[in-house]
Amino acid sequence: MTHLALLIALAPMALAQYDFSWAPKYDVTKPPATAPAQPLWTQHFKQVNPTASYADVTTCNSPNPLVWGATFDDGPSPSTPMVLDYLRLPNVSVKASFWVIGANVQFLPDVLARTFAEGHEIGLHTWSHSNLTSLTDDQVISELVYSARTVYEITKVYPKYYRPPYGAIDARVRALANSMGLTAVTWNKDSRDWSYVGKSTLSEMISNVTSSFRGWMATQDPNGLSLEHDLYPDTAAAIPPSMDILIRAGRVIQPVAQCIGDATPYDNPVLKTFFANGFFDNPSLIASGGAGVRTTGPAGETGSNGAASGSSGTGSGTSVSGSSDGSKAKSLSTGAIVGIAVGCGAAALVALTAVLGIRYQKKKKADAAKQAQTLGGESAFVTAL
């Protein structure tokens, strides 16, 4: 069988285990539209959980000052597997947080499945990467509902945490998300990797990003929460060397939920009950059954909100091996990649990468035009996804 024939044969198989028939349809060569609004969903969340109030997470507030939250945004992308390969190397072996875009997940579901299976934290990053502060209440709710539905399709869990695109958040958006049992997570260490895309060579990208990390290590600031992107090949390539710097400096890299002492990052009973009651597929049930339905779901959860308990953690200071050398990236690009390639899902990944590649080209062209929209220290280019 030729390579091409193998791709054609395997692509449907790779996707068959997931059902995205509920997902908004759009032209994959253009940015996805904002998720379709559903006023009944908004009515439901406002009625069942009107007073929820959770402060944004902006730092890894661990008792151990060396604990560091590493976050990677806007995937899954074709570059994500490389990052995963690095993170599981024996002399690295750390977990991080990935904030995924719903519209991207449906193209690379196996990549998200692998990310979750390897113990990394999955957080919501909306459906279309829209600026939530510019959307209506119904659109904000739908952006989060559709991204939650997407993540559930792959992982069978409902996250408690979301990251607003561009870090753009206000009291209204915060309250809407809180009503869904969701707590915002931003960052306090922006690598600004996005700002070098299309403007710098790969070596310049890595140099600029690692310079930021070295600077942070020099300040000895406790409990950093850093932002990088696994979206582009260049920004993803800067992740291993920047994590190396943290490890050499003795920082203990953890997912965000762990570093703030939350052992249950997917215990979101509000979302669980919402979906268990069929409100996603049949919003009319909200009108007829009452938005106040708090019936228990299949797992016996209640409608009470247990999100963001904020319970203090032990800050387990599991030390990470400080041994680190420049061979990591090299070993990654050979053996690990070959390991992926033999998997039957990899062939489909290659095919899907071609589809995403079209979108990336368009995204790069739109990058310059969208610079003016940059907010809160995160890139605007992903809006062109």
Return residues touching Zn ion (CB under 5 A): 73-74, 165
Residue 210: CB minimum distance to Zn ion, A: 21
Residue 211: CB minimum distance to Zn ion, A: 22
Residue 378: CB minimum distance to Zn ion, A: 5
Is the CB of 320 or the CB of 356 nearer to Zn ion?
A: 356
Of 366, 369, 275, 356, the closest CA to residue 74 belongs to: 356
Is the CB of 53 or the CB of 371 nearer to Zn ion?
A: 371
Residue 231: CB minimum distance to Zn ion, A: 8
DSSP 50: T
In one letter, which amino acid is 30? K
Residue 55: CB minimum distance to Zn ion, A: 21
CB 140 within 8 A of CB 176: yes
Query: Six-digit token pair at 329?
Result: 């990236």
**73 among known catalytic residues:** yes
d(CA 118, CA 1): 32
Is the CB of 212 or the CB of 324 nearer to Zn ion?
A: 212
Q: Which of 44, 73, 193, 244 is catalytic?
A: 73
Q: Using CB atoms, what's the residue nearest to Zn ion?
A: 73
Helix (H) or strand (E) segment spanning residue 261: none
Contacts of 157 (CB under 8 A, 6+ apart): 116, 122, 151, 266
Helix (H) or strand (E) segment spanning residue 217: helix 202-219
Is the CB of 38 or the CB of 147 nearer to Zn ion?
A: 147
Residue 144's alpha-carbon distances to 123, 125, 141, 166, 326, in angstroms, are 11, 8, 5, 15, 40
User: Per-residue DSSP letters for 310-366?
Assistant: --------PPPP----THHHHHIIIIIHHHHHTSHHHHHHHHHHHHHHHHHHHHHHH
Q: Which of 44, 120, 129, 229 is catalytic?
A: 229
Is the CB of 225 or the CB of 332 nearer to Zn ion?
A: 225
Residue 165: CB minimum distance to Zn ion, A: 5
**262 among known catalytic residues:** no
Main-chain dihedrals φ then ψ at residue 229, nearest 5 degrees: -125, 130
Q: Determine the 3-state secondary structure of 243 from DSSP.
A: helix
d(CA 284, CA 41): 10
Residue 6: CB minimum distance to Zn ion, A: 34
Residue 183's alpha-carbon distances to 25, 262, 279, 309, in angstroms, are 28, 12, 21, 10
Is the CB of 122 or the CB of 276 nearer to Zn ion?
A: 122
Contacts of 235 (CB under 8 A, 6+ apart): 79, 193, 194, 196, 197, 205, 209, 228, 229
Is the CB of 41 or the CB of 99 nearer to Zn ion?
A: 99
Going by their DSSP bridges, the two strands 161-162 and 225-229 should be labelled as unpaired
Catalytic residues: 73, 229
